[in-house]
């Protein structure tokens, strides 16, 4: 079981922990039945002031911040993640996100929507990330919005 020592900073609902305000609190890990504290961790919550995109490893491990346009070849894949920041520090959590792709194919479509796709975004099971697959030559702008903030990256798919 989990419990926050300050509900004004963190709210706990089962295994889900949600920041409810800025501040520092302890998150307690309690033994089933007795409710004894078996461990704890201090958590600092701060509101996000920026949103960044990162390329994540396939195994969900390390993330590298996107620093500029990305070039891919047809068939290449990568996992993009939305990372909320506070004063440049990556915040934990998984905000609800909205993803949008605007693309310009290098070759106009021949009445076949499939040939016009530059990239496809696939859900990974996590709101804050998408698997991007390069489908055809052209350029695309991939944008994400979360927490009232936004970020985008230019993708160029080469033939």
| Residues 12, 20 contacting (CB under 8 angstroms) | no
Closest C-alpha among 73, 76, 114, 80 to residue 97 = 80
Number of structural domains (the chain) is 2
Q: What is the CATH number of the domain that holds 79?
A: 2.60.40.1080
pTM above 0.85, yes or no: no
Please tell me the predicted confidence (pLDDT) of residue 93: 83
Q: Are residues 39 and 98 in the same domain?
A: no
User: Residue 24's domain spans which residues?
Assistant: 2-45
- Please tell me whether residues 129 and 69 are part of one structural domain: yes
Three-class SS of 42-97: EEEECCCCEEEEEEECCCCCCEEECCCCEEEECCCEEEEEEEEEECCEECCCCCCC
pLDDT at 34 over 90: yes
Check if the beta carbon of residue 26 is closer than 8 Å to that of residue 37: no
Q: What angle do CA 107, 81, 60 make, to 5 degrees?
A: 115
Q: Residue range 111-120: average pLDDT?
A: 72
Do 111 and 140 fall within a single domain? yes
Model confidence band, residue 23 (pLDDT cutoffs 50, 70, 90): very high
């Amino acid at each position: 079981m989990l419990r926050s020592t300050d509900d004004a900073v963190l709210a706990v609902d089962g295994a889900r922990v949600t920041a409810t305000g800025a501040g520092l609190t302890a998150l307690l890990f309690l033994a089933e039945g007795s409710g004894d504290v078996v461990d704890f961790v201090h958590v600092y919550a701060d509101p996000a002031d920026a949103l960044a995109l990162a390329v994540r490893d396939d195994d969900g491990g390390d993330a590298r911040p996107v620093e500029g346009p990305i070039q891919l070849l047809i068939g290449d894949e990568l996992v993009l993640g939305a990372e909320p920041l506070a004063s440049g520090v990556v915040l934990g959590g998984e905000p609800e996100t909205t993803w949008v792709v605007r693309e310009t194919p290098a070759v106009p479509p021949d009445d076949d929507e499939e040939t016009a796709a530059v990239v496809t975004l696939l859900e990974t099971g996590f709101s804050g990330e998408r698997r991007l697959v390069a489908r055809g030559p052209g350029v695309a702008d991939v944008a994400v919005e979360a927490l009232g903030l936004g970020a985008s990256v230019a993708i160029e798919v080469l033939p």
